[in-house]
Amino acid sequence: MNLAADGDLMKTRRKSTPRGDNPATEPDFFLDIVIVRAAFVIVLIIAAFLLRPFNLSGSYTFLLALASALVIVFLEHRLRRASLKRLIGGAVGSILGILGAFMINAILSGMAFDPGALSLAKLLVLSLMVYVGLVVGANKGQLLNLSALGGVFGAERTAKQEYKILDTSVIIDGRISDICDAGFLDGVLVIPHFVLRELQQVADSPDSLKRNRGRRGLDILQKIRNASGVTAQFVENDYPDVADVDMKLIELARDLDGKIVTNDFNLNKVAQLRGVQVLNINELANALKPIYLPGESMKVFILKGGKEFNQGVAYLDDGTMVVVDNARKLIGKTVETSVTSVLQTTAGKMIFGRYEEKREDGPRDERSGPERAERGDKRPAAGAHAK
């Protein structure tokens, strides 16, 4: 989800909106909110002084009213960021929690309890049920389908949230960060905590190579988290009955109805067999490799000699191997070669070419020796030309 683009779009809409259609500009709206909140705090403090709850003195009444007002304003500020689905889910969960607490308290009232202990128990049950109902309802509210209610919630008809779940190998690989910067991944990038734990274990490994790879993965995660064009989310979902991290990724992808982003060949195959969609970074890299057809020419840097006689080996920027015939003597030079064939293997793509000397030595007379001798015989001598 491109938050920066969404923000620019909203700014553009505000600028293009006529003044008469939207009289409340952003600064005016913010000022109104501040005034309303201040008025609410003042009213609550005055009401506390008039009612004197719990028979408190003036200073304690003021502190209680001020603390209550600040808590309410803070909750209101946080709720403004919540989606309508979460608000509806939280409200329904709270109502169900109150109903459950009422039934439990009715049962407790019929038991022989001390009046003070009974009141405390009822309060605890009510608080617990309301809290649990609010939290669970808000979390499950994302499953609501508001579009089924017709045009009542038309503004909430947004596209389905897409989750891309990152595995350890693709984080360590590092190319996922460049793909995010280029804007080719939308939705939410999900980093499970069990993947984070595995990455931390690799970073703490006594092997220096593994340790460096793990630290690189942690740096890539920090870079993804700070990127402005993507949304990274850490989830605590865990599956204690599943020991393998790959199987945990598959179970999490099923729960979130998301896709796994990986470059692990085995995880790719297992996930596809279990009906989970996979985005393979290696397949993306192969799809982006340039296409060369037989007969086309290309310039390559001969890096080393090949296995066969008089062969030179070069590599393209994407790592594709280029085997050039008649180029062993040109190691360390850039030559122009003509593509003869392209071989696609499971490991990648290989290009075979042939070095043509006439393309590198510049223009020359390609006629044979006898022809040049005959041309020399027919050329007039310098003295004769002078005559």
CATH number at residue 312: 2.40.50
Is residue 10 a part of any domain in this protein?
no
The last residue of a domain, from among 287, 317, 341:
287
Quote the number of domains for the chain: 3
Looking at residue 257, its pLDDT comes to 87
Is residue 11 a part of any domain in this protein?
no
Looking at residue 95, its pLDDT comes to 93
Is residue 380 a part of any domain in this protein?
no
Is residue 324 a part of any domain in this protein?
yes
Using CA of residue 86, residue 87, residue 91, residue 92, what is the dihedral sign?
negative
Among 199, 172, 185, 216, smallest CA distance to 279 is for: 185
Residue 97 tokens, joined = 């929690």
Is residue 366 a part of any domain in this protein?
no
Rounded to the nearest 10°, the torsion over CA 334, 335, 340, 345 is -10
Structural domain boundaries enclosing 309 = 297-359
Same domain, yes or no, for 282 and 301?
no
For 236-300, the DSSP string reads ----TT---HHHHHHHHHHHHT-EEEE--HHHHHHHHHTT--EEEHHHHHHHTSPP--TT-EEEE
Is residue 192 a part of any domain in this protein?
yes
Is residue 127 a part of any domain in this protein?
yes
The last residue of a domain, from among 224, 258, 287:
287
- Residue 290 is classified by DSSP as P
Among 257, 277, 227, 235, smallest CA distance to 160 is for: 257
Cα Rg of the chain (Å, integer) = 36
Looking at residue 145, its pLDDT comes to 67
Same domain, yes or no, for 190 and 116?
no
Same domain, yes or no, for 172 and 227?
yes
CA–CA dist 66, 56 (Å, integer): 14
Looking at residue 346, its pLDDT comes to 59
Is residue 197 a part of any domain in this protein?
yes
Residue 94 tokens, joined = 């709270």
pLDDT along the chain (387 residues), means of 10: 39 36 49 81 84 79 86 81 80 91 87 80 88 86 66 52 88 88 84 90 90 91 82 85 88 90 90 90 80 85 89 85 89 90 75 75 46 46 41
CATH number of domain containing 187: 3.40.50.1010
